[in-house]
Structure formats: structure tokens, C-alpha cells
């Protein structure tokens, strides 16, 4: 199995349950790990035989642009799109961190981690 990863992709987005969060926005960090068995010989040196992390980044960018109340929803949408683009993906983990969430005390970030494993 091979894994590709994006770590610490940073976005300013408007996700949040409270209307103020959807108006003022917040910074987010996104990590994505995709485990897969190549659908062919990697020695062919062909991008179609692997998961293209540039395409994964584009998927994340597009999903982060759509405001949602729950970052869980954003994470699941990212996973669903990666599964569709790369049906040979065996596992996908998406972590979304909301930096300085609006809480009553100082918190570096809140986070959701969503995992997918092909059955």
C-alpha cells in the first residue's frame, strides 16, 4: 500500500454553526492522507497510476469554499469526492482544524477527523 499526504493546507473559510462564524470566517488547516494500491505498474512512471496530490488539493480547495454549518460535513464531502476520483483508494483520512475557535477560553484549535476504509 502507498500513502500520499497533504499536511497543513491553510484556508480562510466561512464554516460554522453560528451565524457570526459564517459572516466573519475563520482560518482552517486541513490534512489529507490517502492509502491506495496502485492500479498498475508504478515503474511506468505515469500519474494515472497514483493519487495526484495536486488534484486532491484542488478538491479540498473547492469544498472549503462552500460554507457549511459543520466541518464534519466538509470533511465527508472531501472524502466522497476523493473516493469518486480515485476508486482504487483503500483508505482516506481527513482532519480539519478550526484555528482559534470562538470559545470562552483560549484554544489553539478544534478539529474533526474523519476516516474511510474500503470494505
Q: Which residues are catalytic?
A: 98
Length of the chain equals: 119
Yes or no: say if 18 and 66 are a contact pair by the CB < 8 Å rule.
no
- Contact (Cβ atoms closer than 8 angstroms) between residue 22 and residue 14: yes
Question: Using CA atoms in the order 79, 94, 63, 13, what is the torsion angle rounded to 10 degrees?
Answer: 160
- Spell out the residues 6+ positions from residue 27 whose beta carbon is closer than 8 angstroms to its own: 10, 11, 12, 98, 99, 100
Write out the three cell numbers for 5: 499526504
Amino acid at each position: 500500500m502507498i500513502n500520499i499526504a497533504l499536511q497543513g493546507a491553510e484556508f480562510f473559510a466561512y464554516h460554522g454553526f453560528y451565524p457570526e462564524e459564517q459572516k466573519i470566517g475563520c482560518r482552517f488547516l486541513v490534512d489529507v492522507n490517502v492509502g491506495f494500491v496502485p492500479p498498475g505498474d508504478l515503474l511506468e512512471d505515469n500519474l494515472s497510476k497514483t493519487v495526484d496530490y495536486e488534484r486532491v488539493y484542488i478538491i479540498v480547495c473547492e469544498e472549503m469554499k462552500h460554507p457549511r454549518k459543520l466541518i464534519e460535513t466538509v470533511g465527508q464531502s472531501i472524502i466522497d469526492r476523493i473516493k469518486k476520483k480515485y476508486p482504487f483508494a483503500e483508505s482516506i483520512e481527513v482532519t480539519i482544524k478550526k484555528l482559534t475557535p470562538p470559545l470562552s477560553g483560549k484554544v489553539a484549535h478544534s478539529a474533526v477527523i474523519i476516516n474511510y476504509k474500503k470494505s
